[in-house]
Amino acid sequence: MDNVENIENTEQETNPIQDLIKASLAKDYNNANKIFGEVMTIKMSDLLDQEKVRMADQVYNGAEEEEEELDDEDIEELESEDEEDEDEDEEEV
């Protein structure tokens, strides 16, 4: 019976995103902020680990550096940022 209880306990783990939404809807902003911080920490850690693996592959295995592909949204965002920078420069003069 103990084995069955252990299996049930592992299946009942909650999704942190669901917890974040529940806390936000309950207006428990302190808990929502805590959960958000934990989720972002995990995501950033995962991204850093991926980058470490990629860099180690380049250094030790001689893998070529992959250029990031920009999609249409990224290009539009970069263009709008350039236009904003130009507008700010013109206002300063």
Write the pLDDT tens digit of every residue in 15-47.
999 999 999 999 999 999 999 999 999 999 999
pTM of this structure: 0.51
Residue 72 has pLDDT above 60, yes or no: yes
Write the pLDDT tens digit of every residue in 73-84.
777 777 877 777
SS3 string, 20-86, reads HHHHHHCCCHHHHHHHHHHHHHHHHHHHHHHHHHHHHHHHHHCCCCCCCCCCHHHHHHHHHHHHHHH
Domain spans in the chain, listed from the N-terminal domain onward: 2-68
